[in-house]
Amino acid sequence: MMPANTHWDQKRSIAKYDSIGIDAPVALPELKDSADSGFSAPDFLTLHSGLIVSGEYIDADFKKKLETTRASEEGVLELGFSVPIAKGGSGFGSCAPVTSDGYFLTASHVISHEESYVLYATSNSSKTYIDYAPVRVVYRNEAADFAIVKAEVRTPRYLRYRRETLTTDSTLFAGGWMHEKGGGLYLESQPIQGQAGYSKVITTLPMIKGDSGSPLIDQKGRLCGVLSTMRLGVIVKMKPKSTAVMLEPSKIEALIRSDRAKH
């Protein structure tokens, strides 16, 4: 297990997102002597997301590729999260960190394998790297395609919930996909029939394999749901679209509190 994040400068920089949003500049420890203009929405999502992969990928070759680099002159952040996709495999998806101690939201179908791991980009006093640990399922609802999982990793970069109602002029972002103008539009929300507290959030963002479980965020970096593969059976002006799933934040928080008390 790699060391937990204890870098106070990084933790202080996270607070900037609360007031500035996804364009807030963040100083990674390895860039302390470099000028950095700030992170784009894809960079924000990379640093505030996790990857869930089947245990079959956690071999010596995979571990060697868990490296993180930043080409600051190009403004590009590259993480070794694409290894399972490059191998043409299955049993992987994304997840959204929602606490500082390793609780994540994801789509239920992402954790269909018996053994899965969470990968998460973190930092120590000198570098940014990818930490990883086995997944423990805290809660899952297959009908809603929603789950809460726990991994023994520190997650100082985590997402706060959006508690206000989305409006049709809301621009949203999701892991893996960016539109030409940087985001997609919110279309509507629908309750999930027979699933109290759950809603579908429908947007014009597309999805590809591996995006399931990715956080859907607004322009202030607040979590609005996790991407799901649920289909609606309608075409909205032939635009690409995706559906995210969200449980009421108060219920998520209660489930996490209950799990902490047991463990």
User: Tens-of-pLDDT digits for all 263 residues of the chain?
Assistant: 222 323 343 344 444 444 555 665 555 666 555 555 555 666 677 778 888 888 777 777 777 766 665 554 444 445 544 444 444 445 678 899 999 999 999 999 998 777 899 988 887 777 777 888 999 999 999 999 999 999 999 888 889 999 999 988 888 888 654 444 456 788 899 999 999 999 999 988 777 667 889 899 888 889 999 998 655 444 444 455 788 999 999 999 999 999 999 99
Query: Which class is 171-252 in CATH?
Result: mainly beta
Pick the CATH number of 8-150 from 1.20.810.10, 2.60.40.10, 2.40.10.10, 3.90.70.10: 2.40.10.10
Place of tokens 């509507």: 188
The domains of the chain are located at: 8-150, 171-252
Whether 171-252 and 8-150 are alike in CATH topology: the answer is yes
